[in-house]
Structures are given as C-alpha cells and as structure tokens.
C-alpha cells in the first residue's frame, strides 16, 4: 500500500500509476497553530506500507508529518513501513563541522527508527557515508542512469568534444560513475575553497583542459544556484562552448530560478524528487521523472 505525505503528492501518484495501484487514504488535519494530526483511513493490518515524503522545504514540517504518518501506520497494525524519501533533508549535517554543533542527521535517523520505520529509500545522497548513520536498511537509488540517457540524446544534436564536470570535490564518485555509463567520457573536477561559516566560495580552479568542449555539469542538488553559476563562469572563462546542467534535487531556494535562467547555460535538468511549484519553474528547466525508478525499487 502506498501513502503520501503533503510534500510531493504528484510523485506519489506517478509511482502508484506505474504499479497499477492507487495512493491510499490519509486524513491530514492542519490546526490553526500549524500542528498536524494524522489518521490512517484504509485497513493496513499486516500490510507492507510505503510512505512517499521528500523532506525538502519546509524540511522541519515535512519531517514532522513523516514521523506522524509512520507512527499512525504502526499503531494501525502495518506489518512494515518503508519511507520513500527521495530528498533527505538535513543530509548535509551528517557530522560536526565546527565545535559545538549538533549532528542533525543523527537526530533525524534516530527519530525515524524510534517511531517505527522499517527501511528508508533515498536518491543520490550527498555522501556515500550517510547510510551508516541509520541502523535500519537504507536503499540508495540514483538518477544517474536517467541523466546518462538524456546526455546521449543531447550528444546526438552536438558537434565536437564533450566533458562531464563536477562542481566540487564531493562529486568525484558521482562523476566517475556517470563517465562509465557514457563509455568513459572524460570528466573534470572543480576545486573550491569554501568558507565553512558562511558557505561562500572564496576561490575555484579546474583540473584539466576544457576548451572548445560542451560541458555537462552534474551535481546532487541545487539550492541557491550560486555554485552552478560559479562553475559555469569558470568553464566559460576556460573556453567551454556550451553548458548543460544536471542535478537530482531541485531545492531551488531563494532566487535560484532567476539565477539559473542565465545566458551561460543552455538547459537545466532536474528530477521530480522535490516538488517544484509553477512559480519556481523557468524556461530553461526540464524535469525528468524518477517515478519508474522508485516503482521498480518498490516492486523488487
């Protein structure tokens, strides 16, 4: 049985269609003060249940709703509750960066386990070490095969050489995997000096020649869009012809849509792991659905 929280009902409905199912009923009441009350309508006794709830903005609200849905399903007798959390909020806070900080992701994982989550399914986590934070099984899916397919389609319209680019050192493993999927397409790494307190980039450099190539920037998420634009500016400075951007999670906070609608970029490809409302969509955006990826994971 598939259930959906409030954060991405469209994705839940798409997954259900792939599986020839319907999204089962939940009663979600929001009180005037913002508190939520969750009630399971359908009979879930001894059923395997799946809750689709990405925890992007507003992350705290979406997590609290997920906690309550899992608890309600457990109290209603569900045999198992699997959380389908394509975008895992707080994943960038998986260890202490500075003295005195909380390890926020550990708080999240412990709460999910405490309320009765059996398993969690995520997509393109920021670090391969994140599953180690959980005591329950973690299935780590990826949008890279979908990106590889789209890049092949784009390459059919191009002339000249191409190159994959990761905008930071943290994406090396991701870019190597994508390179293998694309017959070992060459890749470049942008090295950045980032201020840990403010998050701003102080300096950046690239590790190989990119002149006269079409570049495919690939990242796990886009939040403000500033990292992508900084990478695009550096690539153009180094002589790249065209730039396409791929990222799994379109968090798109603040002015990101306006920032990404930049003359340096041909197109931006994001998945529907995070619901993108109409007001955040922009002409250069194309959304690639991960519904079949999730449906295959559920059915297997």
**What DSSP character marks residue 54?**
-
For 96, what's the count of Cα atoms within 13 Å in the CB-facing half-sphere?
Answer: 5
Query: Are residues 285 and 148 part of one domain?
Result: yes
299 occurs within a structural domain: no
Q: Which helix (H) or strand (E) holds 190?
A: strand 187-194
Query: Are residues 42 and 80 part of one domain?
Result: yes
Statement: residue 210 has pLDDT above 80 = yes
- Phi and psi of 131, rounded to 5°? -55, -25
62 occurs within a structural domain: yes
List the helix and strand counts (H, then E) for the chain: 8, 14
Statement: residue 203 has pLDDT above 60 = no
**pLDDT tens-place string over residues 232-266:** 999 999 999 999 999 999 999 989 999 999 999 99
Query: How many domains in the chain?
Result: 2
CATH number, domain containing residue 197: 3.40.50.2020
pTM above threshold 0.85: yes
**pLDDT tens-place string over residues 119-172:** 999 999 998 899 999 999 999 999 999 999 999 999 999 989 999 999 988 899
Q: Considering the candidates 9, 119, 176, 192, report the single residue annotated as catalytic.
A: 192
Q: Of 80, 79, 87, 43, which Cα lies nearest the Cα of 62?
A: 87
Whether residue 192 lies in the annotated active site: yes
Q: What is the CA radius of gyration of the chain?
A: 20
Domain boundaries, position 54: 2-141
């Amino acid at each position: 049985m598939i259930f959906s929280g409030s954060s991405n009902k469209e994705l839940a409905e798409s997954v259900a269609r792939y599986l020839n199912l319907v999204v089962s009923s939940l009663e979600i009441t929001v009180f005037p003060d913002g508190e939520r009350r969750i009630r399971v309508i359908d009979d879930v006794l001894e059923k395997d249940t799946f809750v689709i709830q990405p925890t992007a903005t507003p992350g705290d609200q979406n997590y609290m709703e997920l906690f309550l849905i899992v608890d309600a399903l457990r109290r209603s007798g569900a045999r198992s509750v699997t959380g389908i959390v394509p975008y895992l909020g707080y994943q960038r806070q998986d260890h202490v960066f500075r003295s005195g900080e909380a390890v926020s992701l550990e708080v999240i994982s412990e709460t999910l386990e405490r309320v009765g989550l059996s398993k969690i399914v995520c997509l393109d986590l920021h670090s391969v070490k994140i599953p180690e934070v959980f005591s329950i099984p973690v299935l780590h899916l990826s949008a890279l095969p979908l990106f590889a397919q789209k890049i092949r389609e784009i390459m059919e319209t191009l002339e000249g050489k191409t190159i994959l680019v990761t905008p930071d050192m943290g994406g090396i493993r991701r870019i190597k995997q994508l390179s293998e999927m694309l017959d070992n397409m060459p890749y470049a790494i942008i090295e950045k000096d980032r201020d840990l307190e403010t998050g701003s980039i102080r300096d950046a450099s690239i590790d190989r020649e990119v002149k006269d190539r079409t570049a495919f920037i690939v990242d796990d998420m886009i939040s403000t869009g500033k990292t992508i634009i900084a990478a695009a500016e550096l690539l153009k400075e180094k002589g790249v012809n065209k730039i396409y951007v791929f990222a799994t999670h379109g968090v798109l906070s603040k002015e990101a849509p306006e920032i990404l609608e930049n003359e340096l970029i041909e197109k931006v490809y994001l998945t529907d792991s995070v619901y993108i409302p109409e007001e955040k969509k922009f002409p250069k955006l194309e959304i690639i659905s991960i519904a079949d990826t999730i449906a295959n994971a559920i059915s297997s």
